[in-house]
Every structure is written in structure tokens, then in C-alpha cells.
Amino acid sequence: MDSLNTLHNLEKKVLLTLKSLGVGRFSIDIISEKSGLKKDEVNKAVEWLREKGFVSVEVLSDSKFVISPKFLDYLEKGLPEKRIINALRKGPILFKDLSQTLNLSKDEVNVAIGMLKRSDYISISEGKISLTDLGETFIKEKKWDEEKLLSLLKSPKLNEEIPENLHIFITPLIERGIIKEEIYSIRNVSLNSEILPKLKDLKIEDEIDFLTSDIIRNETWKSKPFKKYNLNVPPPPLFIGKKQAYLKFIDETKEKMISLGFEEMEGPIVDLSFFNNDALFMPQDHPARDIHDVFFVKANKGKIPKELEKNLEYVRKTHENGWELGSKGWGYKFSQDMTESVMLRSQVTAVSARKMLSKNLKIPGKYFAIGRVFRPDVIDWKHLIEFNQLEGIILGEDLAFKDLLGILKVFAEELCGAKKYKFIPGYYPFTEPTAVLCVYLEGKGWMEIGGSGIFRPEVTKPLGINVPVLAWGMGFDRIFMIKNNINDIRDLFSNNLKFLREMPLKV
């Protein structure tokens, strides 16, 4: 526990005030009133003392009702329903004139008329509003308790003593937006018992906190003691600006991939079904084409670039009958409308399809992309409807399945930092053979990271590729989770400042 000699005078005043108040917990308001300090000074001193272990602080939540500023004039002019009734005592009024006559908004008039009509205090006929007999009786007996409640709420002290018979009006006035409930915190402070005996010698002295040129020039320092400082007290944390940890991980992974000889690919988020599906030999009646599994864009159909029309024809024939590949294809009538439909890409493999159709493609070559994809899905600790994928392809002669498994092994160990991982068989319309990489997450179990395989000839040949192509697509968000032992994928996109400041980062 820190020495009392190093305390600031504000801290000393608060301690002596708490001592004089006796045993118990006391609010900031009471301490401020008894000590003569401002509330912000008391709060500051209490926080310092709490960190030093001299006091305990109990934080409680409470609420009070206040009149919304927009409706303060109701105290002076009366509630809309009261003003309408008083106006109707002189005779019927046209509904359309009511708003202008009483200087009320249409919403205020509609709400008030609805309340009066439900109670049978008014009648409406041929656009005119009139008082009913019940309304006449109501005028004589009505006490307008709602206005009494508003008067009480204007006074903070009376707000705490709302009579029981007025409570029934609180909810209706809240629903109308006339009053609102404000939640606030109450901090109650108490002395820690072990500090009490030490306070008998505590004195408030006129000390020099900061050495200024005037103090030196006037030699005030000769007659006043300097405040003692405890150099062992840790300084307050300094939160400097920094890149969000996950975004930093994405950037550093890109640098690693480039250092390994990969080139980065890019492609649009909103793409044609041709690149996302058809060019990858996904049949147009595949379950993944269902509206519940992809997001289609409400827009005009896209258009296949003219220079790719020949490849489109090869893709069409491959789907329908296997073209010249010795394959049976899928055996259905290929739809031009469907291939030109616009969608949010559901896999970054769409970028690989675009790259393989690019004039800038190099063979042999190594390419990667980290991009966002969109899929309707349940949202839980490992699923989101939009997420990032790490996509990659390697093209070259003599590539084999064992080369692909070697790459997956590097990803599991180096990129994920996984201690346990395994490969299991999988199925995708566009790869054969296919392998799925799974990694073990402590406390959660096995989690699928992504799929991989060798593109089938039905994918590569129509796109003009005549060498083996190794391909993979991995859930990049999950890689970051495993690398940094984060148990909920939603935390990666959190706006919780405490979590963002403390978010770990291993690369």
C-alpha cells in the first residue's frame, strides 16, 4: 500500500471526509457536499485512492424519468388532449383545422384524437369533431394527473418521490415520447478498514505540486514543502493508434505469400455466375446455386466479355456433354441467362477462374488472393454470412497430390500455428482428388479450415490450361482464430475498444 505522504491534497481531503462520515458507504454527492470539493475532483481523487487500495467503490445502476426537451412546453400549454377538449367546449371544429388552430403537429393531433375517441369523449362526423356527453362530464371531473406527473419530473428531487397513484401514467407517456427513462450510475465509496488507523496523523498541507518560473523567481520554494511522489506507482496505460490486429495479420500474410514467390490476384466482390460457378464446372442445378446458399444481386444481367465467348462455348459444351474431354458432363441444357446472373461471390475461387482466363497468366506460376466472400449461413462462434478466404493456385508440369499436401502442411504449421491437424477426403465439383484441412482448436474441437485439390480437366481445358493446377481455398478468419486462440469468430470484427486494445497477434 502506498505511503500517505505521497497523496495529493484532493486525496487527503476525501480520506478525511470519509473518516468524519464514519463507517459505511457514501455517494460522490455526499462526499462533495461535506468536503467542499467539486464532484469531478471527488471522482478523480476516489479513482486514485481506489487504485492505491485505500478505498472500495461500489457502482450501482439507477434510473430517473425526465421530460424530453421537445415536450417541455406541455407544462405551460397543457397536453394536446387537454388543449383539444378545451377548444371543443366552444363548439365543433373541423378535423383538418385542428392542427393549425391549436399549433400542434399532425402526429400530436392524431395521437390525442385517438386517445379521446377510444374513451368516447369526442365524436367525429362529416370531418367535424365534437364533444360527447361523456366528454362534457369528463371536463368537469378531470384532474389531468399526467400534467401533475410532468411537474414532478421537472424537479430532480421530487422525481424520486413520485406518488403511487401517478405511476400508471409513466408507461403511456414514455410510449408517446413525452418522457424518457435515463439510466445512470451511482458510485458509493467506503474506507478500507486497514487504512483507518493511519489517518490520525494525516494533514492537509500547502505543498508545491509543480515547479514554475514564478515559484523560482519569488523563492516560494524556500517556505513551502514539495509534494512527495511515489516513483513506484505504474503510469496510466497509453493507448496509441495502431492497425487493427486482424487487418495487420492479413497484410503480413500477403507479404509472406509474396516472399514465397506467389503473385497476388484480384477480382470483384460482385461477379458473374460464370466465374463463380460455371467456369469451375459447378452444374447449374447444383444445390449451392439455391437462393438460400448464395446472394443474388437485384440487377440487370451481366455480360460475358467478348474475348471470352470462345471459352464460354467450351464451358457450355463441357457442362452439357463433356465436350472433347472424354467426360459425360452433367447432361443438361446450359442456360445463358444463369451464367450471366449477378451475385455476391461465394468463393474466392472465382478470382482463380478469372486469373486462368487472363492474358497475363504465367505457366509455371503461383498465385494467391485474400478476399471477402458471402454465404447465407447461421451465425455462431465459427460462422458468419461474410468472411475472408485465402485462395491459391499453382500451375506447372509434373505437379501431384503430394505437392498439395505439402503446401497444406506448411499452412497448418506455419500459418495456423497448429499442433494437431489432419487431412480428410472431400468433394467439390471442380477438384479431383480433393482434401479438406482440419485443425484442432483447444476447448472447441476439430474445425474445418478449407478445401483443396487438383482442378479437373473439365475446369482447366475449357479455360485454355493444359498443365495440372493445384488449388485451395481456406477460411482465413478461422486461421487467425487458431493462431491467436480466439474462441469466437465474431470477435474479429468487434468494436469493443478493450478487446481491440488487448487483441493478441501472432504471425
Rounded-to-integer distance, Cα 72 and Cα 76, Å:
8
* CA 25 to each of CA 173, 191, 243, 308, 345: distance values in angstroms, whole numbers, following the listed order: 35, 8, 43, 78, 60
181 and 263, same structural domain? no
361 and 433, same structural domain? yes
Q: How does pLDDT run across 232-286, given as a tens digit for each residue?
A: 767 777 777 778 888 888 999 999 899 989 999 999 999 999 999 999 999 988 7
Mean pLDDT for 106-115 is 86
Confidence at 397, pLDDT banded by 50, 70, 90: very high
Rounded-to-integer distance, Cα 501 and Cα 344, Å:
32
Spatial contact of 261 and 392, defined as CB atoms under 8 Å apart: no
Rounded-to-integer distance, Cα 428 and Cα 453, Å:
9
Q: Is the peptide bond before 234 cis (omega within 30 degrees of 0)?
A: no
pLDDT for position 156: 60
pLDDT for position 290: 56
Rounded-to-integer distance, Cα 275 and Cα 371, Å:
15
**What percentage of the chain exceeds 90 in pLDDT?**
36
User: Rounded to the nearest 5°, which phi and psi values hold at 331?
Assistant: 70, 45
Mean pLDDT for 402-428 is 88
Domain boundary among 186, 214, 236: 236
SS3 letters across 201-228: HCCCCCCECCCCHHHHHCCHHHCCCECC
Residue 154 has pLDDT above 70, yes or no: yes
Cell (9 digits) for 506: 501472432
Mean pLDDT for 207-226 is 83
Residue 474 has pLDDT above 80, yes or no: yes
C-alpha closest to that of 1 among 73, 35, 50? 50
Confidence at 1, pLDDT banded by 50, 70, 90: very low
Any domain includes 219: yes
Residue 494, classed as helix, strand or coil, is coil
263 and 154, same structural domain? no
Residue 292 has pLDDT above 60, yes or no: no
pLDDT for position 333: 94
Any domain includes 242: no
Rounded-to-integer distance, Cα 98 and Cα 83, Å:
10
pLDDT for position 160: 61
Any domain includes 289: no
* CATH classification at residue 253: 3.30.930.10
Domain count of the chain?
Answer: 2
Confidence at 289, pLDDT banded by 50, 70, 90: low
455 and 365, same structural domain? yes
pLDDT for position 356: 96
Spatial contact of 453 and 471, defined as CB atoms under 8 Å apart: yes
For 6, residues 6+ apart whose C-beta sits below 8 A from its C-beta are 227, 228, 229, 230
Domain boundary among 212, 236, 260: 236
228 and 363, same structural domain? no
C-alpha closest to that of 437 among 462, 406, 481, 394? 406
Q: How does pLDDT run across 174-184, given as a tens digit for each residue?
A: 888 888 888 88
Pairing state between β 386-395 and 469-475: antiparallel
pLDDT for position 507: 46
pLDDT for position 182: 82
Confidence at 441, pLDDT banded by 50, 70, 90: confident
C-alpha closest to that of 315 among 296, 338, 348? 338
pLDDT for position 157: 57
Rounded-to-integer distance, Cα 13 and Cα 27, Å:
15
Any domain includes 346: no
Rounded-to-integer distance, Cα 217 and Cα 213, Å:
6
Highest mean pLDDT among 107-111, 131-135, 403-407: 403-407
**What percentage of the chain exceeds 70 in pLDDT?**
95
259 and 201, same structural domain? no
C-alpha closest to that of 339 among 307, 315, 374? 315
Residue 381 has pLDDT above 80, yes or no: no
Any domain includes 425: yes
Confidence at 141, pLDDT banded by 50, 70, 90: low
Any domain includes 383: yes
Residue 313 has pLDDT above 90, yes or no: yes
Cell (9 digits) for 303: 455480360
pLDDT for position 473: 92
Highest mean pLDDT among 48-57, 232-241, 410-419: 48-57
Range of the domain at 71: 1-79+144-236
pLDDT for position 76: 79
229 and 358, same structural domain? no
Q: How does pLDDT run across 460-470, given as a tens digit for each residue?
A: 999 999 999 99
Highest mean pLDDT among 85-89, 209-213, 373-377, 393-397: 393-397
Domain boundary among 214, 236, 258: 236
The helix (run of H) or strand (run of E) holding residue 27 is strand 26-27
Q: Is the peptide bond before 433 cis (omega within 30 degrees of 0)?
A: yes
188 and 257, same structural domain? no
490 and 425, same structural domain? yes
Residue 25 has pLDDT above 80, yes or no: yes
Confidence at 360, pLDDT banded by 50, 70, 90: very high
494 and 412, same structural domain? yes
Number of H-type helices and E-type strands within the chain: 21, 15
Residue 416 has pLDDT above 50, yes or no: yes
pLDDT for position 233: 67
Residues in the chain: 507
Any domain includes 382: yes
Mean pLDDT for 379-395 is 86
155 and 264, same structural domain? no
Residue 291 has pLDDT above 70, yes or no: no
254 and 185, same structural domain? no
Spatial contact of 335 and 317, defined as CB atoms under 8 Å apart: no
The helix (run of H) or strand (run of E) holding residue 13 is helix 9-21
Any domain includes 153: yes
Question: What mean pLDDT, rounded, does the chain reach?
Answer: 85
Rounded-to-integer distance, Cα 257 and Cα 214, Å:
62
pLDDT for position 301: 82
